[in-house]
């Protein structure tokens, strides 16, 4: 079955440590996205990528970094510069960028990041 | 600027009774609209989408929504609630050059649907 796989499901970060969240899709989608979800909040966009080797900052990119070296993969690094990283992180993909194509996003099951 | 307002943070209904989750939007352009559902510790799953075709949109699991341009609303309904419908629901608007998020999407803050037995 095609879908989006996020790993790990739970992750703990120590002070001053960078951690990387994995996102892999086998849907052959061009566009991929990272969102942060906090309790009682909607989703906030961290980074997105329209195509391989291209990515753009979202609304809350500070303290995060991404790469898009392969179509299937869009890992997110939470750096030590992100002072409040505790949240639920969701990865999504769509055939093309949703705003250009009206194609909906497909979501992974998320990674919950906590601070030790 | 683009915005989405989900008018109720929590909705509680009895099993077997109708469900109404309200969503109002504002957009300077003709928007596309989506409803997603999220169960605990899971990702979002698409329920339905409106993209300027029929104004009454039918989705999965018996849900439907009606696009009303004059009222700038896109409310989600279901005739009879089931226990498995208990979840968080998100209304999303998408419009090019809309002043929404960096990718043109704006998410509502969500409505928590509670089903009483």
pLDDT of B87 > 60? The answer is yes
Instruction: Give me the pLDDT at residue B105, please.
Output: 85
Cα A65 to Cα A81: distance, rounded to the nearest angstrom = 11
Determine contact: B31 vs chain A, CB below 8 A.
Answer: no
Please choose, from the candidates B51, B45, B9, B28, the residue with its C-alpha nearest in 3D space to the C-alpha of residue B100.
B28
Q: What is the pLDDT of residue B94?
A: 86
A contact test, residue of B103, B108, B111, B112 with most A CBs within 10 A? B103
Contact, A105 vs B104, CB < 8 A? no
Under-70 pLDDT residues of chain A:
1
Which tens digits make up the pLDDT trace of B90-113?
999 987 655 566 677 889 999 999
Q: Is B32 an 8 Å CB contact of chain A?
A: yes
CB B87 within 8 A of CB B76: no
Does any CB of chain B come closer than 8 Å to the CB of residue A114? no
Q: Which of B116, B107, B114, B115 is nearest to B36 (CA)?
A: B107
> Is B95 touching A (CB cutoff 8 A)?
yes
The answer to whether the Cβ–Cβ distance between A99 and B96 falls below 8 Å is yes
Contact B46 A106 (CB under 8 A): yes
Across the interface, which of B41, B102, B110 has its CB nearest the CB of A42? Answer: B110
Task: List the one residue out of B46, B43, B53, B50 whose CA is nearest residue A110.
Answer: B43
CA of A40: which chain B residue's CA is closest?
B109
CA separation, residue B35 to residues B23, B66, B95 (Å)? 9, 11, 15
Handedness of CA B76, A109, A65, A96 (dihedral sign): negative
| pLDDT at residue A55 in the model | 95
The mean per-residue pLDDT over the stretch B75-104 comes to 85
Enumerate residues 23 to 82 of chain A having a beta carbon within 8 A of any beta carbon in chain B. 33, 40-45, 48, 56-59
Instruction: Give yes or no for residue B2 having a pLDDT over 90.
Output: no
Number of A:B CB contacts under 8 A?
77
Is some CB atom of chain B closer than 8 A to the CB atom of A100?
A: yes
What SS3 string covers A40-70?
CCCEEEEEEEEECCEEEECCCCCCEEECCCE
Q: What's the confidence (pLDDT) of residue B11? A: 98
Torsions phi, psi for A53 (to 5 deg): 65, 15
What is the per-residue pLDDT across B6-54, written as a single tens digit (0 to 9) for each? 999 999 999 999 999 999 998 877 788 999 999 998 999 999 999 877 8
Q: Which residues of A touch B102 (CB under 8 A)?
A: 45, 48, 56-59
């Amino acid at each position: 079955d095609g879908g989006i796989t996020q790993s790990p499901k739970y992750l703990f970060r120590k002070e001053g440590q960078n951690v990387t969240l994995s996102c892999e899709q086998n849907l052959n989608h061009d566009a991929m996205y990272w969102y942060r979800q906090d309790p009682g909040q909607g989703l906030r966009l961290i980074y997105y990528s329209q195509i391989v080797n291209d990515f753009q900052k979202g609304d809350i990119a500070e303290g995060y970094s991404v790469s898009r070296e392969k179509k299937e993969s869009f890992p997110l690094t939470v750096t030590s510069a992100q002072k409040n990283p505790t949240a639920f992180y969701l990865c999504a993909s769509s055939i093309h960028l949703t705003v250009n194509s009206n194609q909906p996003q497909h979501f992974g099951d998320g990674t919950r990041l906590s601070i030790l | 600027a683009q915005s989405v307002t989900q008018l109720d943070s929590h909705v509680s209904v009895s099993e077997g009774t109708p469900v109404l989750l309200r969503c109002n939007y504002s957009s300077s352009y003709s928007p596309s609209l989506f409803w997603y559902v999220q169960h605990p510790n899971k990702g979002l799953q698409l329920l339905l989408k409106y993209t300027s075709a029929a104004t009454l949109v039918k989705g999965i699991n018996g849900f439907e929504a009606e696009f009303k341009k004059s009222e700038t609303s896109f409310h989600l309904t279901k005739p009879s609630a089931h226990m498995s419908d208990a979840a968080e629901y998100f209304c999303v608007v998408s419009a090019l050059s809309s002043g929404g998020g960096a990718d043109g999407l704006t998410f509502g803050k969500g409505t928590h649907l509670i089903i009483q037995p």
